[in-house]
Amino acid sequence: MPMDELPTLSVEDLAAHLSQPGNAWQVVDVREPWEVATVSLPSSLNLPLSQFPAWSENIQAWIDPGRPAALLCHHGIRSAQVCAWLCHQGYTQVHNVTGGIDAYARRVDRSLPCY
């Protein structure tokens, strides 16, 4: 799937989904562990793109294909790569978060640090 055809999700829409009681959204953060230690969203799952071989073969153990998933990185580039791969694996409810954690910190929750 071409990158410009990936399903996307704005940071504002992600925040709205996550604020709903009993939301089913999975937040998958593909940044490096040091980046996640700097700033992350609660309950996000860290699957670093650099460690793709370690987690990709057993992806359904990590990401439930029956629930919507928001893929997140610093600005949305690495997460777009994983989002495209998941689409090729048959996932139909994955969305790349436009602007990544940086946009979330700047536009949704200014208490989060930017780096």
Task: State the pLDDT at residue 5.
Answer: 85
Catalytic residues: 73
Q: Does 110 score more than 90 pLDDT?
A: yes
Structural domain range at position 40? 3-49+67-107
Q: What is the pLDDT of residues 8-40, one digit of tens each?
A: 999 999 999 999 999 999 999 999 999 999 999
- Report if residue 86 sits inside a domain: yes
Assess contact for 110 and 69: CB atoms under 8 A. no
Q: How far apart are CA 92 and CA 77, in angstroms?
A: 19
Instruction: Evaluate if residue 68 carries a pLDDT over 90.
Output: yes
Q: What are phi and psi of 55, to 5 degrees?
A: -115, -15
Please state the domain count of the chain: 1
Is 24 part of any domain?
Answer: yes
100 occurs within a structural domain: yes
**Is the pLDDT reported for residue 6 higher than 80?**
yes
DSSP bridge partners of 71? 28, 96
pTM of the prediction?
Answer: 0.94
Distances (CA, A) of 96 to 3, 11, 14, 21: 10, 10, 10, 22
